[in-house]
Amino acid sequence: MFDYNTSSRENHQNMQHPILRKLGLIGGLSWHSTLEYYVYLNQTINDHFSNNTNPPLVLVNLNQYYMHQLQQLDHWDVIAKMLIEACDQLYKAGASAAMFCANTPHKVYHDVQADSMIPILHIGDAIGFGIKKKGLRKVGLIGTIFTMEEPFIEKILKEKYDIDMIVPDKKEDRKKLHRIIQKELSLGIFKPETKKYILDQIAILEAMGAEGIILGCTEFPLIVGQNDLKIPVFNTTLLHAQMGADFILGINF
């Protein structure tokens, strides 16, 4: 009589399984950009093996609406606690490293990393490495008001990669870009007039000497891309996801 269970065990033992590190994703910030991370990570690993090998991923999906409320109230200590708890969940699920699937949470990166059982892959390193490969020294950045006005990305670019970063000069422009992210792009709303405004802001940064532009919010690549510009575009979602794929494969780690 054919023993299906025995045959299955033997077949399983003969199968080749690549050794891949399990990566934890902290998503929902927004879910639209989290989806892009998921696509990029899977496609990159598929391409690496030239087949449909998928990476071992674990996702903790946070409530972006609550996160935005906490940001407005300046309750970054609560945000840090949420991220620490998410890292704990990922660690317990077997993840060897974690990623914040957004730029803004890196404002509290050091507080979270200090209490995390696993390393957190910093988006600033992914950005810096990407710009350095292009040989650029001065870049513009658009993002949330926190990313534009606080040094958690700028500092890592300057100190580790010797790259100068500039942002829109006018406070009202920085506020409008922030509103666009939270009230439109993170909700999946993409208007032609919004795209024009973003491109106009990038043109101003280029006139200020920017050799490239960092789309410093993971929602911006959903509306603007390299095809829209002549200067190099640094898609932080793609760069960070590539860093995650390298970790999974053990490249540069």
- In this structure, are 165 and 224 located in the same domain? yes
For the domain that residue 154 is a member of, what is the CATH number?
3.40.50.1860
- In this structure, are 174 and 99 located in the same domain? no
- In this structure, are 104 and 174 located in the same domain? no
- In this structure, are 135 and 230 located in the same domain? yes
Q: For residue 13, what are the domain limits? A: 4-122+240-249
pLDDT digits (tens, 9 = 90+) for 171-181: 999 999 999 99
- pLDDT beyond 90 at 9: no
Confidence of residue 3 (pLDDT cuts 50, 70, 90): very low
- In this structure, are 159 and 53 located in the same domain? no
- pLDDT beyond 80 at 63: yes
pLDDT digits (tens, 9 = 90+) for 66-105: 999 999 999 999 999 999 999 999 999 999 999 999 999 9
Q: How many CB atoms lie within 10 A of CB 233?
A: 19
What is each CA distance from 96 to 28, 55, 103, 140, 244, in whole angstroms?
20, 13, 21, 33, 11
- In this structure, are 16 and 76 located in the same domain? yes
Token digits for 63?
């409530």
Structure confidence at residue 79 (pLDDT): 97
- In this structure, are 137 and 215 located in the same domain? yes
- In this structure, are 55 and 118 located in the same domain? yes
- pLDDT beyond 50 at 64: yes
- In this structure, are 94 and 178 located in the same domain? no
Structure confidence at residue 5 (pLDDT): 47
- In this structure, are 102 and 15 located in the same domain? yes
Structure confidence at residue 14 (pLDDT): 52
Structure confidence at residue 75 (pLDDT): 98
- In this structure, are 9 and 112 located in the same domain? yes
- In this structure, are 147 and 117 located in the same domain? no
Q: Which of 114-118, 184-188, 221-225 holds the top average pLDDT?
A: 114-118
Total domains in the chain come to: 2
